[in-house]
Amino acid sequence: MTDCPPDATIAHVRVAAAHEGVAELIVTLRHANGGLSDVAMDEIAADALMRQCAAKASDDLIGVGWDHVRDALAKSWNRFNPDQLKATR
């Protein structure tokens, strides 16, 4: 494994209301080419991201690489697939 810089990093984080008023975390990724994209993270994904980055506040996520966002989203998604969830534990 190399120590290459991530292709995208978290540039901004905010909380937004989602379906039925449930809060979700919106992270803005800044890509290597300067482009920006927003990623909505549900409660499970947001919790996984905060834990894996040992973040105490959302601002602690600024500068975190896309790979952490991807992994947190996968954890959230895999809760619907019990076989996959067992494989990631």
Contact 38, 26 (CB under 8 A): yes
Does a structural domain hold residue 14?
yes
| pTM attached to this predicted model | 0.80
Whether 32 is covered by a domain: the verdict is yes
Higher-pLDDT residue of 20, 39: 39
Q: Is residue 50 part of a domain?
A: yes
pLDDT score of 79: 80
The residue range of the domain holding 54 is 8-88
| Strands 8-17 and 36-41, sheet pairing | unpaired
Q: pLDDT digits over 22-81, tens only?
A: 889 999 999 999 999 999 999 999 999 999 999 999 999 999 999 999 999 999 988 877
Q: What is the pLDDT of residue 85?
A: 52
Is 63 domain-assigned? yes
- Overall size of the chain counted in residues: 89
Contact 68, 6 (CB under 8 A): no
